Amino acid sequence: MGLLANSGTFVRFAVEGEMPENFWEFAAARIAANAFKDIDDNFEEYSIGWVSVMNMFDAQFAFASHAVGDYIVLSMRIDERKVPASILKKFCMKEEERVKREKQIPKLSRGHRLEIKESIKLMLTKKAAPMPAVYDLCWNLANNTVLFFSTSSTVHAALEDLFKETFGLHLALQVPYMAAANLLHPSQEPALAGMEASIFL
């Protein structure tokens, strides 16, 4: 459901903050510095960064492919090693049984069980293949709004952090009240703030 798909699901953010001079150069350098780093060949648990919208394996942006007219077009990629809860539980129980038999004790202390859980989780996380997720973004530099192709608030939080880290600018989700404040004349703002629901009956 990304930018070039047949249909798209998105929200709108407003970009807040001062844009630096030589913006395109600044943007290219900052995107490169926050490009996605692959974790397939190491044991990292989580990786987040920018890739090209056309290809999730392209984090080089040859010929400044993030620059499209007056827009910056990017994908935010998140790879994460996750262990499903049922698998973690199974291996923990198995290990607890093994330790109890080995030490010939009927019960393990809470501390010992937590210790087992931690080490099993670490072992399974290292074995898990990173799960990829890609979310497209389109930044209109003329009116400083961003279309972002996900409606998940968890993903929004990750985007806000990465965007701040990359460009030093804040994103403000354009829920109706915020959108209204941008559409109205500043003199109408107190009236908007004081507005209460109407009854349609």
Written as one letter, the residue type at 95 is E
Among 78, 161, 184, 186, binds other proteins (CB under 8 A): 184
Q: Which is nearer to other proteins, 13 or 167 (CB)?
A: 13
- Number of amino acids touching other proteins (CB under 8 A): 43
Output the six-digit token pair for 122: 């670490």
* 108 is an interface residue for other proteins by CB under 8 A: no
Residues contacting 76, CB < 8 A, separation 6+: 48, 49, 50, 134, 135, 137, 158, 159, 162
73-102: contacts with other proteins (CB under 8 A): 73
- Residue 82 DSSP label: -
Among 138, 146, 158, 159, binds other proteins (CB under 8 A): 138
What is the rounded CA–CA span in Å between residue 169 and residue 23?
Answer: 13
* Contact string (CB under 8 A) for other proteins, positions 147-166, x = contact: x---x---------------
What is the rounded CA–CA span in Å between residue 23 and residue 167?
Answer: 10
Helix (H, G, I), strand (E, B) or coil at 19: coil
Q: Which is nearer to other proteins, 6 or 109 (CB)?
A: 6
Q: Which of the ranges 3-11, 87-95, 125-133, 162-170 carries the binding residues for other proteins, by CB under 8 A?
A: 3-11
End-to-end CA distance of the chain: 38
CB of 15 to other proteins, least distance (A): 15
* 122 is an interface residue for other proteins by CB under 8 A: no
* 121 is an interface residue for other proteins by CB under 8 A: no
What's the chain's length in residues?
Answer: 201
CB of 28 to other proteins, least distance (A): 16
* 54 is an interface residue for other proteins by CB under 8 A: yes
Q: Greatest CA separation found in the chain? A: 78
Residues contacting 28, CB < 8 A, separation 6+: 61, 64, 66, 67
Name the residues that contact other proteins, by CB under 8 A: 1, 3-4, 6-12, 53-54, 63, 65, 68-69, 71, 73, 138, 140, 147, 151, 172-180, 183-184, 188, 191-192, 195-201
